[in-house]
């Protein structure tokens, strides 16, 4: 009898522990499953997109904020309230055609005959966006997508031009612009490169949300062999307050002049400075042209050609919309016929900063920027001036600069040119992953 009881008790205990083990396995499985589900979240604009019905579109010509919401079943009384509550964060009148927007609907709204969005998201540029909460308490805020910078290196040997060399290697043409117009503009004529000239560069690419390529961010250092010369360039910040960054050679000599050669990228000169210009339309009379016209598409960014302070940002007569910048007691520049200005009077701008956009305002027969150059109060031809070099590095910073470039130069010297042909584009880039959020 006692033996029978012992057998029964043993069976019960085995069943108990078996159930306990089964339960543990179930708990472990559920935990693992929840972790997998957690990993599958698709985050965008700070929202888990899986939790919503997502509607994406772009602003069309003539669209307004109110019309977009009305098309999505939000009435004008609510639209007025939304606009009033959010006006300090976002001006609903500043919707631009072509810009993307996103509407988030609750999944429960599938059951509704007239579903209303809970959130409106407007992308002002590839990085910045505005979120307007349309449900319950109305509010708005601005935010930015995470940006990742990846440091890379590249080499190239010139066959015909720098552009074709970069294209053959699958590299961004922005590298050509940065080397030709920002770094070596005053030391190398890129229209006269020779076959066999070669370069090495350390640069950073920019990515949005880790996956969307947003172009070349900057060039940290470069080396160019041209006409038997070895030309180094190292990026270095000379004024942390104003954010002024220049390129210097290995002896701390500034590589650039005080002025860029042109206020717009990848443009052509359509009309030069000419005091004896005759125009057939006006009976072949002399009509002096005291500027240099750079033809470019409407909306092309216009850059300040040197550091300075904006003295005028207005619209007047045949000049149309324009900006004028005083660089020092000697030099000023002026940029005419803009579609719109991007700076205000009294604002300090750095060389290369965007100050406006190409347009056709004022007296003009086509889209261009008329670039005017003033020296001692007189308009002159910038291409006939012996322009000053940029400000040299201070003695107090020179020691810091030379220490800064030691490891960079060593790394640059250790990058080998890839002579073998043909070379696959991906094999021409050595990548060092340096992430800076």
List pLDDT tens digits, range 236-252.
998 888 788 889 999 99
Predicted local confidence at residue 22, as pLDDT:
52
Q: Which helix (H) or strand (E) holds 316?
A: strand 308-316
Distances (CA, A) of 335 to 1, 85, 264, 365: 109, 39, 11, 16
Predicted local confidence at residue 285, as pLDDT:
63
Question: So where are the chain's domains?
Answer: 44-144, 147-256+390-431, 268-384
Where helices occur in 130-206 by DSSP H, the ranges are: 162-168, 174-177
Predicted local confidence at residue 192, as pLDDT:
84
Gap between the Cα atoms of 266 and 163, Å rounded: 12
Tell me if 147-256+390-431 shares its fold with 268-384.
no
Predicted local confidence at residue 346, as pLDDT:
95
Mean pLDDT by 10 residues, the chain (437 residues): 50 49 53 50 87 94 92 91 90 89 88 88 93 91 93 93 90 89 84 90 92 90 92 92 87 87 83 71 65 92 94 95 94 96 94 94 91 94 84 87 95 83 37 34
Q: Following CA atoms 192, 196, 202, 207 in sequence, which dihedral angle do they give, to the nearest 10 degrees?
A: 80
Domain 147-256+390-431 has what CATH class?
A: alpha beta
The string of pLDDT tens digits covering residues 216-225 is: 999 999 999 9
Decide: residue 326, CB within 10 A, 0-12 exposed, 13-18 middle, 19+ buried: middle
Percent of the chain past pLDDT 90, that is, above it, reads 52
CATH fold for the domain made of 44-144? Nuclear Transport Factor 2; Chain: A, (3.10.450)
Predicted local confidence at residue 270, as pLDDT:
86
Enter the CATH code of domain 268-384: 2.70.70.10
Predicted local confidence at residue 391, as pLDDT:
76
């Amino acid at each position: 009898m006692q033996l029978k009881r012992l057998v029964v008790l043993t069976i019960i205990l085995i069943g108990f522990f078996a159930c306990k083990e089964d339960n543990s396995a179930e708990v472990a499985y559920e935990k693992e499953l929840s972790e997998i589900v957690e990993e599958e979240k698709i985050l965008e604009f700070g929202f888990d997109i899986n939790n919503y019905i997502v509607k994406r579109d772009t602003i069309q010509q003539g669209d307004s904020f109110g019309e977009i919401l009305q098309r999505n079943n939000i009435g004008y009384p609510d639209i007025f309230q939304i606009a009033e509550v959010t006006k300090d964060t976002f001006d609903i009148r500043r919707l631009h055609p072509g810009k993307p927007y996103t509407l988030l609907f609750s999944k429960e709204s599938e059951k509704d005959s007239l579903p209303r969005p809970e959130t409106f998201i407007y992308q002002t540029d590839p990085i910045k966006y505005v979120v307007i909460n349309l449900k319950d308490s109305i509010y708005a805020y601005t935010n930015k997508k995470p940006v990742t910078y990846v440091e890379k290196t590249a080499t190239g040997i010139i066959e015909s031009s720098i552009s074709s060399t970069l294209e053959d290697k699958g590299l961004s043409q922005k590298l050509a612009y940065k080397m030709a117009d920002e770094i070596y503009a005053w030391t190398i004529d890129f229209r006269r490169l020779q076959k066999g000239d070669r370069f090495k560069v350390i640069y950073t690419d920019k990515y949005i949300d880790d996956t969307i390529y947003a172009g070349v961010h900057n060039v940290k250092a470069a080396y160019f062999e041209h006409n038997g010369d070895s030309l180094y360039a190292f990026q270095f910040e000379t004024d942390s307050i104003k954010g002024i960054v220049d390129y210097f050679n290995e002896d701390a000599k500034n590589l650039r002049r005080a002025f860029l050669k042109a206020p717009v990228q990848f443009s052509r000169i359509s009309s030069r400075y000419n005091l004896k210009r005759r125009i057939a339309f006006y009976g072949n009379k002399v009509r002096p042209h005291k500027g240099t016209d750079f033809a470019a598409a409407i909306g092309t960014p216009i850059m300040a050609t040197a550091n300075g302070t904006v003295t005028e940002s207005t619209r007047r007569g045949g000049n149309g919309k324009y900006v004028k910048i005083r660089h020092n007691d000697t030099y000023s520049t002026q940029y005419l016929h803009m579609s719109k200005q991007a700076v205000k009077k009294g604002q300090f701008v750095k060389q290369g900063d965007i100050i406006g956009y190409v347009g056709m305002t004022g007296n003009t027969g086509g889209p261009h920027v008329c670039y005017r150059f003033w020296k001692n109060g007189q308009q002159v031809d910038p291409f006939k001036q012996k322009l000053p070099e940029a400000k040299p590095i201070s003695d107090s910073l020179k020691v810091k600069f030379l220490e800064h470039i030691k490891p960079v130069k060593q790394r640059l010297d250790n990058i080998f040119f890839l002579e073998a042909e043909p070379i696959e584009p991906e094999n021409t880039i050595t990548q060092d992953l340096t992430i800076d959020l």
